[in-house]
Structure formats: structure tokens, C-alpha cells
Chain A
Amino acid sequence: MIDFTKYAGPNLGGVVNKLLDDRHSDYLGIKMDTPFTRVLVLLILGAAFSAFYRIVYGLGASTNLNDYWPWGLWISFDVLGGVAMAAGGFIIAAMVYILNWKKYKCIVRASILNAFFGYLLAAISICLDIGRSFVIWHPMVMWQVNSIMFIVAVHVVLYTSTLATESSPMVFEKLGLGRALNGVNRCMVGIVLFGVLLSLLHQSSLGAVYLIAPSKLSPLWYGKYIPYMFLVSAIMMGLSMVSFETILTGKVFNHAPPRDVLEGLARGIVVIGCIYIAMKVVHLVTGPGLGGLFRYGFLGFMWLLEMAVGAFIPVVLLMKKANRRNLHVLFAANILVIVGVLLNRLNVGIFAVSDFPNRVGGDYFPSFMELMLTSGMIAFAILGFKLCAKYLNLFPQTHH
């Protein structure tokens, strides 16, 4: 290993040395210089380029957004989707720190970190999506409590800092800062509770953003209860995401996924999934009616697709106990849920608002720059997670 005290002086160099000490994760066998990592780095560079281009030349030059489609891929996928993916963090934290379900403790760090990256992704993307990125802090000083966007902005800031605090013990541990570590750990319950509160509000307020647009969002998705449907689907997605990640990290890093934890998560997905299906079906029947699925043509198909992939199939799969124990089936079901809920966010953000614009001749398909930024952001999250797994003690219980 390189000794950084030589280059950066004893103090700073010492800190860097400690941070880069990866002996404790040797057993995971994480290799940094792989073709996959190179692809990730390339994607991130691409995203950095489109971010630069976007800032210098404006939204018109870099995206296909227009007056009839003011929000596109970045808002639907990176922000709505990224935040939904992050829901696992608050659920697992609540289960471990508030309900004292200690069994899940071995995945709490990983899921909080995952949430942190989800939020980071959302925050960076929204920063580039807004036209005046440099004054993104305006809502913080210009309160406007009628605006859901204001509420969303406050939540993003508070919750990202909360997640950083929740993750900080890993870093303090690394640096041997015992006092700071103790301090954070003592307040952990309060911090987690605050995080739960913010998440409940934030996940639902992302749905509430659309409450103001009954004349634009298709009735297949619009409804008084859209905030709660966003919340419930995010919880379902969060559980799947954590489960998916636990299996995946088990596969690529050498450590065995804890079976009973995975089974518990799968049970959770079934329960929440059933609630979600009930909500969506009741909404469909009481709102546009079953006939709406046909009346709205393509949108009806998208609704069915999103529900089949994200809820019906995985819930039916996981109803069977044998399937919950089968890692392959579980893995597939998790992917289905994740894809399905992401599709839901894309539907709400892009397809469900297409009715009026289409009538007056508006059109939207993400530009190359938009796609490049989004894929780069995903790569950034994966790489970031990998780095943290290597350099921080991410799986404390399995560490021997």
C-alpha cells in the first residue's frame, strides 16, 4: 500500500492511510481494477461531461425537454426512482434501532449506505435538472409552505444529512475517533426516528407533487391517494432493493447472505405488496374503472405492465414458502419489484402526462445527454457502494 504520510504530511497522510486501509475487508475479495469497474468509470466520465455541457449550454442544448414536457427522464428516473430505491434505508434502520429486531442488524449499514447513494443520485440529478443550478438553495431561505416542491427540497437536504450521520459511525470507526463514534451511537435512536419521519413524508410528498395536476396526469395514476401509493410502493421497493443487494453482494463479494434475514424481507415484500395491490385495484375501480384500462389505450397497457411486473407476479411468486427460501426465485422476484416500481415512476413522470401534450402536438424522448447522465449516475452509485464495501466495515456481523 502507498504510504500517504510521505506525500501529505503526518496528519493528513495518516488519515488517508487509515481510510485506505482495507485489510478488514480482504475476506470479501473485492478487486478494484476489473473491466466492469472500468466501464463504470467510463460511464461516470460521460455523465460528468453531460453535466458540464448542461451547465454551460443550458437545458435546451442538452435535453429534449420542452414546454409541454418540462420534466423528463431525470426527474422520473433519477429523482422519483432514486428516492424510491432508497426507501430500504429507513425501513431497516427503523426495524433495527426502533423496533429492536436485531436479526436485521447485519444489513443495516449496507442498506443505509444504499439509501445514501440513492439520495445522492437524486440530489445531483435535480441539481442539474433545475435551470439555475447555482441557486438550488433558494427554497431554504425563501420558504413557501404551499409548495410540495419546497417540502421535497427541505426533506432532501435534511434526509441526506441524516443518512450521512447514520453512516458516519463506519468512517469514525475507521479513523479511530472513539468520542465522535460514541456520540453518534448514543443519539442513533433519535436520528433514526428523525430519518423515518423524513422518509415517510418525503416518499409520499413525491407523489403529492402531482396532486396539483389533475388535468394533466392520467386518471389511471392520478388520485387523492397518490402520495400514499408512492409511499407503499417505495417501501415494497426498498425491501426488495435491500434483499437484492444482500444476495448480490453475497454473490460477488465472498460472504454468505443470511438466510433468515432474506426470508423475513421476502415476507415483508408479500405483505406490503398485497397492500399496494389492494390500493391500486381499489383506485382503479373507483376512479377510471376497469374499462379505463382499455379506454386509455397505451396507458392502460403501461398500467398493466407496471402492476404485473412490479406487484402481481412477484407477490404470487413469494407467497410460496419454498420460493422465499429459494435464492434464485427470490432474486428474480426482487428484480421484478424493482423494475416494476421504477416503471411506475417512469409512467407517472413521463407517460401519464402525455395525454394533453400529445393532443397539441408535443413530444418527448430523452436525449443522448439525458441518457448518458442517468446511466452515469447509476454507475456512480454502484462504484460508490463498491468502494465503501472495500474501505469501510460494511458487513460488521460477518467480519471474522
Chain B
Amino acid sequence: MTISRRGFLKGVASGGVVLATGVPAAEARMSKDLPPEAVGLLYDATLCVGCKSCMVNCKIQNSVPGGALYQQRMAAGVKEALFCTRPAVAEEPTSPPTYETTGIKGNEGIWDAPQDLTGDTISIIKVYRNGTGEKKDAPLNGYAFFKQQCLHCITPACASVCPAGAFRKDPVNGSVYYEAYRCIGCRYCQIACPFNVPRYEWDSPWPEVRKCQLCRHRFKEGKYSACAESCPTGATIFGKVTDLRAEAKKRFAMKPGTEYDFPIRTLTSGDTTLRKVAGYADRIFGLSEAGGTQNLMLSGISFDLLGFNKDVPNSALPDLTWAYIAKIPWVFLGVFLGGTTLHAITSRMHVNGKDKDKDKDKGEKHD
């Protein structure tokens, strides 16, 4: 018995050594590099006219099997979660778009009236209003539109905290997506996302977390993000992240009043609209926030005024936890070595001090 206990300790200790060398752990650590084919959106608030076409198309295009708002039948969802299997796509019919009535009288699901991102709404256009609200993109006595949705972080906090790996980042195009069958519903992703993006289906007994997944289900069909596709003004455009960054920097550097051909839908669609540059406030949102995001935003009004969380650090958040996790193997080792040594010493003291004839292992025996 004593031998088996020693063997056990040895086994655990050597396991600790393997862990401490960090072989499996190093691979698990999240990447901080932009994926090779990273794609994203550039939203330029100064071009947005608040028509909400993007929201309408987002809901419709994501209500199909594989889409981010797709309402799976509960029985099927429970079965997949219990058996831990990836859902088979396109088996079930398209679900109706998840319109929100927000308790407005007379709206019996006739039109969509969301007030915020919710479990039924993964992108939203909101309005900023100040004073008389006369001038567009002016912080004082002005108004502006702005868009909220997942920004597809380069090192996503939501994916790093998920205990079941339900949120994941595509290694190629970088979209951060969700596999409902894995999710346990702990909502740690909601705590972790610095932009408050993931939303929960609070009213469902078998809830999912909902957020924009960059319309990745449409990529396979050669299509791209539905919101960019339907935006008539070029406020939301889709493209490669490196190109979008260059485009955003170019716009940001331009003098207000300069005429510029703004591309529509995608950077390479060929369609453009000639407009005067309105002038941008602040910074390009998404270059450094939380270590950088694939979606970028430009605005005429500072993002703090628009209500974005102003305390988001400019470094990858998962690093903060990793510093702690990396110590765990050492704690393992330390406690086992320290604990056994202490125990050996104190047992000997105990035995020597009291009764020398007795079995050395006395300290381990109990009534």
C-alpha cells in the first residue's frame, strides 16, 4: 500500500514535469497573428444614412441552416449536445427571421424593432443625438449613426475563455464562430468580450449564445457578409483585413472636404460613390483595441461619446489569463515536492519525539 502511494506520487510528479515543459500547453496558446486569409468589414459611420438595410439582410441571410440566427428545433439541439456531434447542415428548413416587437403596440411581429443587440439581433444600427441634432457627424448639436456587432478579434477573449471550445476562431479567414452543440451556457464569453457582443437567449430552456459570425456560412457559396452586400452607401464594406486597414488609414489621413471615390460592398467590387470626406474623430477603431480586431470602424464622433467601452486595453486579453495558467504546472510540482518533504520531516519529528519503536509510517495511520 505504501508502495502504491509512492508510485502514485511519482506518477503525478512526473506528469507535472511533462506539463511544466509546456509541450502540450505551448500549442494550445492562442495566436496573436492575423490569419493568412483574414477577412472583415470596414464600417464608416460618416457614410451611414441609417437605412438599416444591413440589419434586415443580416436577419434574413442568417436564418438559414448554418447561419448565426438559425433557430434549430430544440429536440435536435439537445440530441447534438448530448452526443457531442457537429450538427449536420441543411437538414432542417429555414427558420423565420427572429423579429423583435420590443413591446410596441400594434407590432405583432410585422416589423423588426430591436433596441439593442440581443439573442435575436446580432447587428444593430444605433443613433447618436445631441442638442438640436441638426448636423450629421457633429458631436455638439449633431447626430450620427453607428453599428454594433462582433468585431472578430484577432485574439478573441470569447474563444479563449470558453470551457467547452464552443467559440472558435477560423485559422484561415479568422472569423470567430460558434458551435452550439458544445456550449454549456456558462456565459463566461459574455463576461470576457470587452465589447459586450455575445448575447444570450434568456427566454429559451435550451439557449444559444448569438453573435455575428461574419456570415461565414455564405463564404462556401462564394458570397460574403450580407450586411456589406446590402449596404447602398458603402458604409459597410467587406474585404481582406490588410486591404481594409490600408483603406481606413488612407481615409483617416485625408483632409475633410476632399472628394473621394468610396468603394461600395467590397473593396474590389468596382462600384464606387463619389463623396466629400467628412473628417474623422479619434482613431481607427480596431487597429489596437483588445490586441486588434478584423472589423474596423471609422466615425466622425469619438467612440467614447458613442458609448463604446472606453476601458478596453490595447493588448490581447487572453495573455492576462495565460500568465496565470502557465504557472499551474509549477504549482503542481511545488506542492507535491514541498508537501511530501514537509510531511516526511514532521512525521519523523513526531515519531522521534514520541515513540521511536513504532512504525515509521505512523503519521499516515489513523483511527
Contacts and interface: CB of A to CB of B under 8 A. Distances in A.
Interface string A55-66: 111111100011
Contacts of A141: 84
Contacts of A148: 161, 321, 324-325
B325 A212 contact: no
Interface centre among B192, B317, B349 (most CB of A within 10 A): B192
B350 A197 contact: no
A131 B184 contact: yes
Contacts of A131: 183-187, 200-201, 206-207
Nearest to A129: B186
A187 B5 contact: yes
Given A144-B162, A185-B366, A211-B321, A135 B81 contact: yes
A100 B347 contact: yes
Given A131-B207, A138-B164, A360-B307, A190 B5 contact: yes
Q: Is the interface of A mostly helix, strand, loop or mixed?
A: helix
A208 B84 contact: no
A320 interface: no
B363 A70 contact: no
B196 A193 contact: no
A295 interface: no
Contacts of B186: 126, 129-131, 149
B104 interface: no
A139 B164 contact: yes
Nearest to A54: B205
Interface residues of B, number: 80
Interface in B319-361: 320-325, 328, 331-332, 335-336, 339-340, 342-343, 346-347, 349-350
Contacts of B86: none
Contacts of A359: 307
B123 interface: no
Interface of B: 1-2, 4-5, 8-9, 12, 24-25, 28-30, 78, 81-82, 84, 116-119, 157, 159-165, 182-188, 190-192, 194, 196, 199-207, 307, 309, 311-313, 317-318, 320-325, 328, 331-332, 335-336, 339-340, 342-343, 346-347, 349-350, 363-367
20 contacts: A55-B205, A59-B200, A59-B202, A100-B346, A100-B363, A130-B187, A131-B184, A131-B207, A141-B84, A143-B165, A144-B164, A150-B163, A188-B366, A189-B343, A193-B335, A204-B324, A208-B325, A212-B192, A215-B194, A215-B313
